[in-house]
């Protein structure tokens, strides 16, 4: 997918609100500690910051495997931020790690399964929730081109040189390749 900055934000917010935020709310209500929901809030803010600054600038095309790499990076960043904030006295690092990865897989599953059903054009609209509508002109995307004229300058190779010219090797007469009006084998000359 080639998500737009808006598409990244749509995806991030919807996947976190539909799954991890609900899970964090339940945990908060069950344990009586706000740490779970605050942690998800920090994760959401971190994600939106990365989406709007780093990712949209550095990842025009995002291959599917990259999602896991980004998840791992975000885990490291979130861990660092929570250590700096020192505001989560009721969650151990291990608990937070397990919680993060459960949330990550939940958000991933929502992105893969729920969003394309919720919005028919989600994937082809670069991760944006658009009305099923025709495009509006936007930015121009750079095009990958691999060009080389070196082989053209080499000229014909051995096969063609042997096949042409005064010392051409004779070629056996064989049936025509066309199968459109194919004759049975025994009728072929």
Partner 1 sequence: MSANGHPQDVDIGIVGDGFGALLVYTTAVYLGFRPEQIGIFGENTNPVQTYQQFAWNLGQTVLRSESESHFLPADWPTFAQMQALAGRDPSPLLRSAGRKFNPGVPEILAEAGLVTKALGYEERVLGGVKVGWIVREEGPPAHFSIYDEEANLLGRAKHAMLAIGHGPLSFPGVYGRAREDPATRERVVQAYEAKQYFPGGRYIVVGAGIASVNEWVNCIDAGAQCVALRRNPHPDEQDLNVPRCLFDGSGIDAFQGLSFDQRVDFIGQVLKGTAPGRRNWAERIRHGQDQGLFEEAIGSVTDIRSGPAGLVVDLKPYDSEDILTFDATGVVCGTGFIKSALSLPLLRRLAETYQVPVERERIVLKTNCGVPPLDREDSRLCMMGITANTVVPNGDTIAGLKYIARRFVGDVARAESLKVRPFPTRLAMQVRLARQTVSALRQIQTTEQLA
Site residues (CB under 8 A) for partner 1?
1-4, 7, 60-61, 63-65, 112-113, 116-118, 120-126, 128, 130-141, 143-149, 151-153, 155-161, 163-165, 168, 170-182
To partner 1, the closest distance from the beta carbon of 90 in angstroms equals 36
Q: How far apart are CA 182 and CA 136, in angstroms?
A: 51
To partner 1, the closest distance from the beta carbon of 181 in angstroms equals 7
To partner 1, the closest distance from the beta carbon of 6 in angstroms equals 9
To partner 1, the closest distance from the beta carbon of 5 in angstroms equals 10
Question: CB-wise, 28 or 121, nearer to partner 1?
Answer: 121
Cα first-last separation, the chain: 55
- Nearest CA to 60 out of 112, 123, 100, 2 is that of 2
Which two three-digit tokens encode residue 137? 């002109």
Q: How far apart are CA 23 and CA 103, in angstroms?
A: 8
Which positions ≥6 away from 188 have C-beta within 8 Å?
175
Question: CB-wise, 84 or 143, nearer to partner 1?
Answer: 143
Q: How far apart are CA 16 and CA 106, in angstroms?
A: 9
Q: How far apart are CA 140 and CA 79, in angstroms?
A: 37
């Amino acid at each position: 997918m080639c998500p737009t900055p808006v598409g990244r934000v749509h995806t991030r917010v919807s996947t976190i609100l539909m799954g991890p935020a609900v899970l964090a709310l339940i945990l908060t209500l069950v344990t009586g500690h706000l740490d779970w929901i605050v942690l998800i809030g920090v994760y959401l803010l971190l994600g939106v910051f990365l989406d709007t600054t780093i990712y949209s600038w550095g990842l025009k095309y995002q291959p599917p495997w990259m999602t896991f790499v980004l998840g791992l990076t975000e885990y490291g960043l979130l861990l660092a931020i929570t250590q700096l904030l020192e505001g989560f006295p009721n969650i151990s690092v291990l608990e937070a790690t397990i919680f993060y990865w459960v949330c990550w897989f939940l958000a991933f599953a929502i992105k893969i399964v729920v969003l394309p059903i919720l919005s028919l054009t989600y994937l082809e609209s670069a991760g944006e929730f658009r009305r099923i509508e025709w495009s509006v002109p936007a930015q121009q995307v750079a095009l990958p081109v691999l060009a080389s004229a070196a082989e053209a300058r080499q000229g014909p190779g051995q096969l063609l040189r042997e096949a042409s010219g005064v010392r051409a090797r004779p070629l056996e007469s064989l049936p025509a390749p066309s199968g459109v009006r194919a004759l049975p084998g025994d009728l072929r000359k």
